[in-house]
Structure 1
């Protein structure tokens, strides 16, 4: 027998029910909170209210959503203001991206914040988890909520920032493992936010002195990774000039405990690393390693195409197959994927462009300007070049015997079996060798 205890639990709103938002909502709803989720996508809302997750490949999430639905501790709505009005704690996890000119795109979160401001009540705590440029929690959003609601920031409602620090396909695990960085507009805000996360996530906390410190820490994490990947890519290109195998270099160098060389690759994609450095760059950090790293990593698609051209001469009318539309392995996420840069390059070179990705439908691939191609299709016998961009688990068992006409394989993630490919008379290229 299921007992409905939702009316006796503290109410929490989670605004934005994407991968991270839904996972947070489900975890909270299983840890003693009554959760009202909100999202602009009606299909997402319908599924959640049926006890189903729209997010795939996130271990444990399906069960958490189902449990919360059965216990009546998780419901969803398209009305952000309604969710905010029903709750004492409001978590905002709406995406902030950059446009084609790398300017910050606030359109979705601005709309959500306006809705929240219409529903927020006196005494509420609002916590932003979306990665933001330093200063935005207070100056852009806190002041907007104050203006619309008529409530006084820091007195009538409380404001905190605690960045999400999780990785797709292991979000629940990361919520338990990584310390939660928390900053508040004042002492009371910090205290309320810290107490909430102790109960809701049962994780370690790192309390910092200000909202801006918490915001800065998340962007700095991404800049660190971008810079170090750029270093690996720069060294890999130099290693090729000198006839040195970068994979061997990394293994040898990293045997020294102070060396942490990253792996080079065909490029950097996703919601984080190619985007968040611009939150610093656009605020004035427009010289030095941060912008230079962005240039190096985005140029890896050009570098990859140049390696292919050296191997097969002209790409005009060549049949090119890219493995992986997604930005990385085993995740359905095309945001800022290097494949999109490769598609643009190959289109300019007048190549015949094919893409395989087991996580995307044919119609989804077509939207990105490429022809979908199954690895079971007879047309693979006509492919001239294969480029590995995202090493999905399905690609670990590719039979290159079927690629009869293939002249070159570019292993953009240094994951394929070089001996197997070269044994078939196919030229093998990778980044850093």
Structure 2
């Protein structure tokens, strides 16, 4: 059985499996704390680029400085051979994505492949930690058997196995690693202690230990689902405000002066890697057989919240039609395809649902985003605004609040009759001074009393 008293000073080498927007900063964080790090990724181009000292992740400014230094000093090296790397290390941190497909089914394919590779190289005494967000029970009931079967070793007897959810945001990862408490749960007390000792050696944040990997997985799903439900509640308040001629924004601001009220901001949808995805993880149990996965009466609020937030794109389009009538054969410009302001990332962005809703209403849809070239927009299924087409735009939707859009020249679209501020980020007075109708979700301007159900707009599979 592995040593019962963990000692982080005995750790010399760490493998990070998955070198994406979170995995690469983690590798740098560990290397900066004095460990030798082997990064593992299946993308050969990424591996070659990193071994040349160049980063493919642009959102974290520190990487451009740290990667060349760490590669040059030998503190960081990168490989596609995960099994070989695992044979050399004391700790393996796994941050391979688990996604939900267009049918809302959790896809374990990538993490299963990574687990198989880890298992084939796993050595006695190694600590394996999953940081990927997972459905409750995945580490203990799905990944553990895969790893034990591939290695011939037993968790908590021959090796340590733990789960610790990532709790960081793109663009602020190093700050978040130092600020947010680290949640850790092991497959048993030895694994929990070993993982806790490791994180104390690489992070300055508080370490919070949970009773099990299941409980640690549950923590991440609770915190992300809370935000989705909160936004859905704000969107419901916006519907109510529109029907009754009220301003939801001023009402929420006043309500939030009470210390127990923390209502979020309504908008045209919820995007990103986390919030629109992880509620579905609550509905998935890797231990259940397919015939047992029928929807039950549990967790109905998160299910409804998902439907409400996905339906906001359709509601936004209906608000525009309430001002200028049918959008059939009219040109509409969507500002921003990123899932949030000032990031170059489109994961599950609301722009897809807005585009789909607009097309269903017969509109000609164009997009503009300063973070993406025209070719990149076309590759993702959008139509960039053609040169000289400004004169034909009759409606604009602000989908994400890039700072650049604060300086957008709305005078260049003389035919525009309405702007829907989907993130409450634009200056109403400046827009109305141009003779353009300004509307926002929940501004009290829609008294039709209509409801938009999730069935009014289907899911769209994103590239």
Instruction: Please give the range of the TM-score, normalised by the shorter of the 2 chains.
Output: over 0.9
Do residues 430 (structure 1) and 432 (structure 2) align? Answer: no
What's the CA shift string for 1:27-65, capped at 9, x where partnerless? Answer: 101111100001111221112111221111213222222
Matches within 5 A, 1:207-226: 207-226=209-228
Partner of 2:397: 387
Partner of 2:408: 398
Partners of 1:293 and 1:232 in 2: CA distance:
10
Q: What is the DSSP-based 3-state SS (H/G/I as helix, E as strand, rest coil) of the residue aligned with 1:60?
A: helix
What's the CA shift string for 1:177-228, capped at 9, x where partnerless? Answer: 0010000011111111111111111321001111111000000101111110
- The question of whether the paired residues in 1 share the 8 Å contact of 2:11 and 2:90 is answered with no
Partner of 1:158: 160
Q: What is the DSSP-based 3-state SS (H/G/I as helix, E as strand, rest coil) of the residue aligned with 1:32?
A: coil
Partner of 2:113: 111
CA RMSD of aligned residues (A): 1.4
Do residues 336 (structure 1) and 348 (structure 2) align? Answer: yes
What's the CA shift string for 1:295-320, capped at 9, x where partnerless? Answer: 11111011111111112211111111
Q: What is the DSSP-based 3-state SS (H/G/I as helix, E as strand, rest coil) of the residue aligned with 1:333?
A: coil
Partner of 1:86: 88
Deviation at 1:381, TM superposition (A): 2.2
Deviation at 1:14, TM superposition (A): 0.3
Partners of 1:287 and 1:13 in 2: CA distance:
37
Using the size of structure 1 for normalisation, the TM-score is: 0.95
Moved more, 135-144 or 349-358: 349-358
Deviation at 1:9, TM superposition (A): 7.0
Partners of 1:388 and 1:46 in 2: CA distance:
38
Deviation at 1:287, TM superposition (A): 4.5
Deviation at 1:286, TM superposition (A): 5.0
Matches within 5 A, 1:308-347: 308-347=320-359
Q: What is the DSSP-based 3-state SS (H/G/I as helix, E as strand, rest coil) of the residue aligned with 1:384?
A: strand
- The question of whether the paired residues in 2 share the 8 Å contact of 1:39 and 1:78 is answered with yes
Matches within 5 A, 1:43-122: 43-122=45-124
Moved more, 285-294 or 261-270: 285-294
- The question of whether the paired residues in 2 share the 8 Å contact of 1:340 and 1:368 is answered with no
- Counterpart pick for 1:247 among 240, 246, 249: 249
What's the CA shift string for 1:220-254, capped at 9, x where partnerless? Answer: 10111111000001001101111111111111111
Q: What is the DSSP-based 3-state SS (H/G/I as helix, E as strand, rest coil) of the residue aligned with 1:328?
A: coil
Partner of 2:175: 173
Partners of 1:310 and 1:368 in 2: CA distance:
30
Q: Give structure 1 stretches of 5+ with no counterpart.
A: 1-7
Q: What is the DSSP-based 3-state SS (H/G/I as helix, E as strand, rest coil) of the residue aligned with 1:267?
A: coil
Partner of 2:452: none
Partner of 1:360: 372
Higher relative contact order (CA 8 A, sep 6+): 2
- The question of whether the paired residues in 2 share the 8 Å contact of 1:27 and 1:64 is answered with no
Partner of 1:127: 129
CA 9–146 in structure 1, closer or farther in 2 if over 3 Å, else same: closer
Moved more, 280-289 or 134-143: 280-289
Deviation at 1:282, TM superposition (A): 3.1
Q: What is the DSSP-based 3-state SS (H/G/I as helix, E as strand, rest coil) of the residue aligned with 2:259?
A: coil
Using the size of structure 2 for normalisation, the TM-score is: 0.89
Deviation at 1:285, TM superposition (A): 6.6
Partner of 1:197: 199
Partners of 1:362 and 1:41 in 2: CA distance:
25
Partners of 1:245 and 1:17 in 2: CA distance:
45
Partners of 1:53 and 1:359 in 2: CA distance:
18
Q: What is the DSSP-based 3-state SS (H/G/I as helix, E as strand, rest coil) of the residue aligned with 1:108?
A: helix
Moved more, 136-145 or 353-362: 353-362
Partner of 1:420: 430
Deviation at 1:67, TM superposition (A): 2.7
Deviation at 1:136, TM superposition (A): 0.4
CA 215–77 in structure 1, closer or farther in 2 if over 3 Å, else same: same
Q: What is the DSSP-based 3-state SS (H/G/I as helix, E as strand, rest coil) of the residue aligned with 1:320?
A: strand
Deviation at 1:148, TM superposition (A): 1.1
Partner of 1:5: none
- The question of whether the paired residues in 1 share the 8 Å contact of 2:11 and 2:91 is answered with no
Partners of 1:172 and 1:417 in 2: CA distance:
33
Partners of 1:42 and 1:361 in 2: CA distance:
25
Partners of 1:188 and 1:66 in 2: CA distance:
36
Partners of 1:36 and 1:359 in 2: CA distance:
31
